[in-house]
Structure 1
Amino acid sequence: MVTDPSQPAASIDPAGTAAPAPALSAQVRSVLAILMGSAFVMMLNETTVAVALPAVMADYAVSAATAQWLLTGFLLTMAVVMPTTGWMLERFTTRAVFAAAVGSFLVGTVLAALAPTFAVLLLGRIGQGLGTAMLLPLMLTVTMTLVPAERRGSVMGVIAVVMAVGPALGPTVAGAVLAVTTWHGIFWIMVPLVAAAGILGMMRLRNVSTPVHVPLDVLSVLLSVVAFGGLVYGLSSIGIILAGGSAALVAIGVSVAGALGLALFVGRQLRLARTESALLDLRPLAVPGFTVPLIALLVLFAALLGVMNTLPLYLQGSLLASALATGLVLMPGGLVETVLSPVAGRLFDRVGPRPVVIPGMVFAFGALAWLSTVDETTSVWQIALIHVVFSIGLAACLSPLMTAALGSLPAPLYGHGSAILNTAQQLAGAAGTAALIAIFSAVSEGSRSGGAAEAVALADGAGTAFLVAAIAVAAAGVLSLGIGRKPPAQTVAG
């Protein structure tokens, strides 16, 4: 990966101080807008299907366990493909990877919208996951390549909107669509958006790297499938494992295979790195400036997805809110995060990560601690307010943590650093979702066994799950104290 020579570095005046970074050119802004627009639709898609599962189950006469594969299959695809994106970004041009990502997502979306059977619908979701897995690392790599260090915080603030607000608004969009049409409409509304982004992207996007002939190590690919596919499946099956039975034995076996596959995958990448032929270069993990914010980001992301997937269960089960009402409750927080994430990015450019991240962690912890006090009588408006406070914390944390992590790497490692970050996020998201839902289910069942009413039992389970999420965020806040407090160094010409 080479830096785009059309982007001038900040100059040094006679007094020795760095001059302000130049504004982004119109072409760079348009390229970033196309990538972010495409990614936003893909991230929105990640959570829309969950709201439509009951309708899908009714149409195809499948069980909840079978329908859940529309979510698990998407995650598995992303977890398996993302480790290969570092190699893709080195081996192929930017335009080629973009075309493959948008094409895969578009074909998968049309296939899902027209699906005559559940198997075809699942195949369409796999196509969507394939496209999303390629586009997200591409977006981060292009951003780190084209945007000067002095302005990365601001741009990454907008990317944080894409990566966090998209999934947050997914239930709202799905609820609105289901109010006027069938679940097929959830896929149809994405088709023209992604198609337009693909056409514009191929017209405006230029290559920002020089492809290098890096051989594809087939054994590494196979090990990554076993490792990351097995781990995501195992983490997603925590509830099944706790329930016991033959299904639990299968999940445990897959988890063990995933752990062994990961060990073998890591060992092979370390050996191949000596000859610059690793499928996923793990050298970024040896950089403390990358690893510390990465771990904090993963803990926060696990709590985010866990809460976002548990909250609808509480709202619809305990408070008896409709699917549309559930989406509307989460919408104010998504809008707040949309506004504040770019602000947090600009603050990062000015003061560095720690002064922005630490207050954000405090907001996030306070919101989740408050959320852990809910019961069956809690007002939905109170939940909306708590979610707004939580979104303020997320806005202050996500983009500074991503920027601090990737900004600590040399340019040749941007692609592999982006692949590591996105792959680890999928594992963290699966772990957080599975853990909180397992806690929610176990505590709810215990309350029912003790004679509690259904609404009370579900509220008990939700409160406990949210408390665990709050503790996890508190741990991430402590870890964030190890992140540097200074803004990124100015890039010196020459």
Structure 2
Amino acid sequence: MANESTIPASGDSPAGASGEQETPVYQNPVERNVLMGVLLAGAFVMILNQTLLNTALPAFMADFGITASDAQWVTTLFMLVNGIMIPVTAFLIQKFSTRAMFLTAMGLFITGTIVAAVAPVYLVLLLGRVLQAAAGGMIMPLLQTILFAIFPRDRRGSAMGMFGLIIGFAPAIGPSLSGWIVDHFPWQTLFLMMLPIAVIAMVIAFFLLKNVTENTDPKLDILSIILSSLGFGGLLFGFSSAGTAGWSSAEVVISLVVGVIALVLFVWRQLKLDQPMLELRVLRIPMFTLNTVLGMVMFIAMVGGMLILPLYMQNMADFTAMESGLALLPGAIIMGLMSPVTGRLFDRFGGKWLAAVGFILLTATSLLFARLSADTSFVYIAAVNAVRMVGAAMVMMPVTTAALNQLPQTLVPHGTAVNNTLRQVAGSVGTAVLVTVMTVTTRDPAEYGVEGMVHGANVAFLVSAFISAAGLIGAFFITNSHGEETGENRLEQIHPKN
């Protein structure tokens, strides 16, 4: 079948496997841009799906007769399965063609969406969410791998900027859109409205998408998959539960202990295998590791702050849930719109100064949020958060692109999986740590009133400012953002010759 063609011509090495210039598989810009639009449309519905159900939980409780804690599994289970699938995707991309992977991901998502929409009981709805989450976990590293293969180095920043637009915009409109839909239509509409976009993206990709990676047919290591699932799943669940259940609760302690032990064993096994499921040796490349860590730092500061603000507004400043959502909406939209701009700037100037300015904005706005009071205005909160999200946009896609640019094309699937997994863990850690800081430093409301509670939020943002400042220091060490020197020298760093 013509659509199954791969990058290497007969006898050629895969792109990036040597020191030669990598040649994108799509030379026609129109075909390449149309394909990117199709891929981003597929990613949009999956990323939108992460936050779309947050305001629909009361509707599920009423229809299925479940408790609030039961309903929360709609989002918790999605997060866990999504996080578990990301590391496995590196193996799948090398085992199967990128074309087959994308079509499978879209097929899983469509199936899960239909299952959830027609669910007669709550467990069937959860099954649909598991299928959707598995597809979502595959699509993030897969899409980044495809974009890096079809775009030349001098256009990767712009391509990743468009991807950042989807990442920023889709979650931003999710809660507001779902709130309006649930108020006017049955909750099943939340699933059914995504089907046409997903089906159209799948059909067009069937005709346009070629395989853009070399398939090495690695052996399936069941133990690696089990250890990865227990390790990353345990950490994600433990950290995400710690902020609300407390660090000493049994579910948090057991999850974290199991996660740490399984993760240590997973790392040890990957370093021993000739064909690891996840090539962790990419972390031997200093600039890949530095940019990945900077992305983690940004997520810790940003995700934690996105949770602290709604808690402050609803519990300490007498704003409604809708008002707290509206305060965050301009920032999220601006972050999405800024991503293509920062992508173009990255292509021209590299990542160092973009990341540095971004971390300056994150640090400054964190300090401004560390001065909240019980009567801080809505305009102040929305404006400062908007500037904060500009800073996040200047860091997120540039450091991700700079990290992946360090890798030859054959290692991009592993790099995207490592990068996305660590960033997701960092988001959970940031949420847990900052919520804990806020809780511990809250002063007794009986003595200090509402301002005692606000004090805890201020200290949490102060910690966020210190975290962002650490990222600022690290940004000045970024070099070689466009990764001009990849190939055998990078492979030598990962697999040193005796």
TM class by shorter-chain length?
Answer: 0.7 to 0.9
Question: Could you tell me which residue of structure 1 aligns to residue 345 of structure 2?
Answer: 347
Task: Please say which of residues 53-62 and 292-301 is displaced more in the overlay.
Answer: 53-62
**Cα shift at 1:491:** 9.7
Structure 1 distance, partners of 2:255, 2:326, is 38
Which position in structure 1 is the counterpart of 2:359? 361
What are the equivalent positions in structure 2 for 1:38-57 lying under 5 Å apart? 38-57=42-61
Q: How does 1:65-464 map to 2 (within 5 A)?
A: 65-239=69-243, 242=246, 244=248, 248-272=249-273, 275=274, 277-443=275-441, 446-448=443-445, 450=447, 452-453=449-450, 456=451, 459-464=454-459
Q: CA separation of 1:281/1:192 partners in 2, compared to 1, >3 Å: closer, same or farther?
A: same
Separation in 2, partners of 1:315, 1:55: 24
Unpaired runs of 5+ residues, structure 2, are 10-14, 16-25, 488-498
Moved more, 161-170 or 403-412: 161-170
Task: Give yes or no for contact 1:240–1:251 (8 Å, CA) kept in 2.
Answer: no
Q: Would you say the 8 A contact 1:2–1:145 is kept in 2?
A: no
- Provide the TM-score with structure 2 as the length reference: 0.87
8 Å contact kept, 1:354–1:485: no
Q: How large is the Cα RMSD of the aligned pairs? A: 2.6
The one-letter amino acid paired with 1:120 is V
Q: 1:308 to 1:47 in 2, by over 3 A?
A: farther
Candidates 461, 466, 473, aligned match of 1:471: 466
* Alignment match, 2:12: none
- 1:18 corresponds to: none
Compared CA separation, residues 420 and 449, structure 1 to 2 (3 A):
farther
Any idea what the Cα deviations from partners look like across 1:401-433, whole Å, max 9, x if unmatched? 011000011111001101111111221122222
Output one character per residue of 1:153-184: Cα deviation in whole Å (capped at 9) or x when no partner: 11111111222332233223223323423443
Distance 1:486 1:198, change over 3 A: closer
SS in 2 for 1:198: helix
Is 1:483 the counterpart of 2:478? The answer is yes
Contiguous gaps of at least 5 residues in structure 1? 10-21
Q: How many Å separate the matches in 2 of 1:311 and 1:184?
A: 30
The CA deviation at 1:84 is 0.9
* Structure 1 SS opposite 2:212: coil
**Percent of aligned positions that are identical:** 35
Change (3 A) 1:3 1:474: farther
TM-aligned CA deviation for residue 97 of structure 1? 0.6
Letter paired with 2:391: G
CA distance in 2, matches of 1:291, 1:324: 39
User: In 2, distance between residues paired with 1:212 and 1:52?
Assistant: 43
Residues 111/369 of structure 1: CA separation in 2 closer, same or farther (3 Å cut):
farther
Q: Which amino acid aligns with 2:268?
A: G
The letter for the 2-side match of 1:134 is: M
How far apart are the structure 2 equivalents of 1:472 and 1:62? 39
Cα distance 1:469–1:348, how it changes in 2: closer, same or farther (>3 A)? same
After the TM superposition, which residues 14-53 of structure 1 pair with which residues of structure 2 at under 5 Å, given as runs? Answer: 25-53=29-57
Separation in 2, partners of 1:36, 1:70: 24
Q: Distance in 2 between matches of 1:449 and 1:460?
A: 14
**Helix, strand or coil for the counterpart of 2:375?**
coil
Q: Distance in 1 between matches of 2:320 and 2:196?
A: 28
Measure, in 2, the Cα distance between the counterparts of 1:221 and 1:358.
37
The 3 A distance-change label for structure 1 pair 171 and 369 is farther
Query: Using the alignment, how far apart are the partners of 1:457 and 1:191 within structure 2?
Result: 47
Compared CA separation, residues 376 and 106, structure 1 to 2 (3 A): farther
CA distance, structure 1, for counterparts of residue 376 and residue 114 of structure 2: 41
Q: How many residues align?
A: 469
Residue by residue over 1:208-242, the C-alpha shift from the partner in whole angstroms, topping out at 9 and shown as x without a partner, is 12322211101111111111111111111213563
| Contact in 1 for aligned 2:243/2:431 (Cα 8 Å) | no
Question: Contact 1:35–1:201 (CA<8 Å) still a contact in 2?
Answer: yes
Distance 1:54 1:458 in 2: 27
How far off is 1:260 after superposition? 0.8
Q: Is the 8 A contact 2:238 2:251 kept in 1?
A: no
Which secondary structure does the structure 1 equivalent of 2:196 belong to?
Answer: helix
| Alpha carbons of structure 1 residues 329 and 47: separation in structure 2 relative to 1, 3 Å | same
> Is the 8 Å Cα contact of residues 39 and 162 (structure 1) preserved in structure 2?
yes
Give the partner amino acid of 1:257. V
> Is residue 350–residue 487 contact of structure 1 (8 Å, CA) maintained in 2?
no
Q: Give deviations 1:353-375, integer Å, cap 9, x for gaps.
A: 11111011111111222122222
CA distance in 2, matches of 1:470, 1:186: 37
Structure 1: distance between partners of 2:485 and 2:84: 37
Kindly provide the CA deviation profile for residues 369-393 of structure 1, in whole angstroms up to 9, marking residues without a partner as x.
Answer: 2122222212222211112101110
Q: Residue type of the partner of 1:315?
A: M
C-alpha contact (below 8 Å) 1:171/1:326 kept by paired residues: no
